[in-house]
Structure 1
Amino acid sequence: MRVAGLGFRRDVTFASLREALIAAGGAEGVTAIATVSDKLGSDALERLAGELNVPIKAIPANVLVGIATSTQSELIKEKFGTGSVAEAAALVAAGRHARLVSTRAVSQDRTATAAIAEGDGE
């Protein structure tokens, strides 16, 4: 299973989410997108999932706590207990033995991040 993890601000645009995903390596082979559950309902997120024809996996914030990530944001670490929401969400959603195939990439306007992980989906 190949999962694109996304982190973003509430005012993110569809273009920024797509740009971050492209910067992380693109959507080829992605079978799901994942983000922290409080971001569900975002129009930009739903539009991206629709364009890719993949489900959204909502990860509760408490599940992200302590997930080791390759990149580190002090702000995100303080708020979520992990260095990158995008990387941690991708790793959790990809399942056991997940590994990052693309570390966090950031949109030019800095409102969206994306990372890609592969795992067994369980």
Structure 2
Amino acid sequence: MIAAGVGSRRAVSADEIEEAVHLALCCFSVAASSLEILATEREKAGTAVYVEAARRLGLTLIGVSSGDLGHAANRVLTRSARALEAKGVPSIAEAAALCAAGANARLLGARVATARATCAIAVGDTE
């Protein structure tokens, strides 16, 4: 299972989310066709921009609870003071990717960032 986790600032657009996902795929040499899930924090997963980005990318959109993001916090590679202050977790993108990728998930590297979005790619077992 391969998942893209995305974090964003408030005024993000679907285009910017897509840009962050494509940048991460390129950075980690992952084919877009192998990506299965777009994950973010639960509160943002229901917003129009995330729904639209997932539709355009042809991905299943998953909203991850704050509790689950917190459980993955010790496995993230990047710590964001902004995310920690706003959401109580050190990384939205990396934690969401880890949560969504399934059992034994691992990050392919630190999240990548655009002006208003971050994206991390995680790979997990397909059990």
TM-score (norm 1): 0.88
Q: Tell me which residue corresponds to 2:119.
A: 114
Q: Tell me which residue corresponds to 1:48.
A: 53
Q: What amino acid is the match of 1:13?
A: S
Q: Tell me which residue corresponds to 1:80.
A: 87
Match runs of 1:25-64 below 5 Å: 25-26=25-26, 27-64=32-69
C-alpha distance in 1 between matches for 2:118 and 2:109:
11
Aligned length: 120
SS in structure 2 of the partner of residue 18 of structure 1: helix
SS in structure 2 of the partner of residue 114 of structure 1: strand
Shift of 1:121: 4.8
Residues 1:100 and 2:107 are matched in the alignment: yes
SS in structure 1 of the partner of residue 86 of structure 2: helix
**Quick check: 17-26 or 56-65, which moved more?**
17-26
Shift of 1:72: 0.8
Structure 2, unaligned runs of 5 or more: 27-31
Match runs of 1:12-31 below 5 Å: 12-26=12-26, 27-31=32-36
TM-score (norm 2): 0.85
CA RMSD of aligned residues (A): 1.6
Structure 1, unaligned runs of 5 or more: none
**Quick check: 76-85 or 4-13, which moved more?**
76-85
Q: What amino acid is the match of 1:71?
A: T
SS in structure 1 of the partner of residue 5 of structure 2: strand
C-alpha distance in 2 between matches for 1:102 and 1:33:
17
Q: Is the 8 A contact 2:113 2:119 kept in 1?
A: yes
